[in-house]
Amino acid sequence: MAGAREMPMEQTPRSAVTLAPTLDTWSWQLRARCRSMDTEFFFPRVGEPHGARVRRERAAKTICSMCPVQENCREHALATGEYGVWGGTSDTDRRRTRPAPVLRKH
């Protein structure tokens, strides 16, 4: 989701990685379909009822489905631990598809 708003501190995932944006790594966002849209479509609100969240995420994913940079967006979200809808996936979707960490036996 291009032009994302900041997540309140109490909701920030501990595993989130902060990347310094550069033209090389973020230029794809200039072509994002969501670029000029209200970010409210793409991020959960505190206390949002489940049904409202499902409807909002469905609408955001529809926008993403027609976006020319959907794959770049999804890869970015997976690499950085973004929250909200990015690349047609919600943070919940991405947690489900992210491979489990490999535990080594000593």
State yes or no: 67 annotated in a binding site: yes
State yes or no: 73 annotated in a binding site: yes
CB-based burial label for 9 (10 Å; 0-12, 13-18, 19+) = exposed
Rounded to an integer, what distance in angstroms lies between the CA atom of residue 28 and that of residue 35?
A: 11
State yes or no: 10 annotated in a binding site: no
Rounded to an integer, what distance in angstroms lies between the CA atom of residue 65 and that of residue 24?
A: 24
State yes or no: 48 annotated in a binding site: no
| Binding-site residues | 34, 64, 67, 73
- As annotated, the binding site for [4Fe-4S] cluster includes 34, 64, 67, 73
